[in-house]
Structure 1
């Protein structure tokens, strides 16, 4: 390998948790294969653990988990940082060299690469947050409209509204309280009714 003095050897651990079992197995295999095909890495050793079932604390369907331990040579610090961003290993242990000598220009380049990746991640988070806000607003409007349509038929309690709308009672309660605060709903003996037609 050319310019081996900059190479780093590290043991990394990748973990996956999800379902179904077959998806967890195939995704881990795909990750390891992709790493092996990348010219910035040389995988010396791979050990993929057997997929194990993980019980859901809330009593739901179980998840499945596996991990891969990889011994990799990275063609410099930048590919190692890139690997950490791309594959998010749970552990990285640099085994060789024991000491690193880095020129200030190399370190500046690494920091600039790191900053560029952090800015990409920040931009994605902001986009997802914006999309999430739009989805929440749309869901709230849909639930509000559903409540209004159901209460035009007759007054109902919260559990009946939840059953007919398919929405969780605690989520509906929040919307109902907002509609009450705006003077759109009235409540008597646990039954909600339209006070006025929402605009």
Structure 2
């Protein structure tokens, strides 16, 4: 190994160490917000209507340092929510899954009430949640009505986002199909009869996907197939 390679190796080593230190510092910052409560204090919160729960939040991605830092920042955001007290937290070591990495954090917390806990599930999508205490819940009709109204409002917002996304995707797919159709027609008009394999190379679309698309164009009368070659139809 030459001097240049050794220098690059040292630089790379320092970079990896720095990233690891950043992750550790970020985790320390999160840990600093953890509160230690006695059993008596936990009981006082339970008497006020708090819920004692355990939650697991998972993330998968890469590179490993990035996904670790992202999870730490995600937990930091959760801690800033109103009505939440983090009692314990435990970050897992990254586990490699094919080319990605799986990390998770296990949190023990006191949550203001069952409604807040429900909305946490909507906003942070934990992979698992366990209610430690209380063992039973009693709802007054006005409180439960308010909870259901808030829940419906969130569901309506989610439904609106999904519908907007679906409409956007349909419009995008339609425009993409129009562009591909025009590209096929222009290519066939200038290059004459072309076989599927050659047309696939010229356009940059896989043979299987393009073949299915060409069948639809033949059916709609935009092109025709002659002895394994495609020809544009003049309209």
Scaled by the length of structure 1, the TM-score of the pair is 0.89
Displacement after TM superposition at 1:154 (Å): 2.4
> For this pair of structures, how many residues does the alignment match?
191
Match of 1:180 in 2: 218
Match of 1:9 among 52, 66, 69: 52
Structure 2 residue 71 is the aligned partner of structure 1 residue 34 = no
Alignment of 1:101 onto 2:144: no
| Structure with the largest fraction of helix | 2
- Which one is further off, 180-189 or 15-24? 15-24
Deviations for 1:91-145, whole angstroms, at most 9, x for unmatched residues?
Answer: 1111011222221111111111111111111111000000000110011011111
What are the equivalent positions in structure 2 for 1:18-97 lying under 5 Å apart? 18-55=61-98, 62-97=99-134
- Higher RCO by CA contacts (8 Å cutoff, separation 6 or greater): 1
SS of the residue 2:87 aligns to: strand
Native 8 Å contact 2:223 2:231 kept in 1 = yes
C-alpha distance after superposition, 1:37-60 (max 9, x if no partner): 2222111111111222212xxxxx
Q: Structure 2: any 5+ residue segments left out of the alignment?
A: 1-43
Looking at CA atoms only, which structure, 1 or 2, has the larger radius of gyration? 2
- 2:188 is matched with 151
The 1:21–1:150 alpha-carbon spacing in structure 2 relative to 1, beyond 3 Å, is farther
User: Who is 1:58 aligned against?
Assistant: none
CA deviation string 1:25-80 (max 9, x = no partner) = 2221111111122222111111111222212xxxxxx2221111111111111211
TM-score using structure 2 length: 0.76
**Residue 177 (structure 2) aligns with:** 140
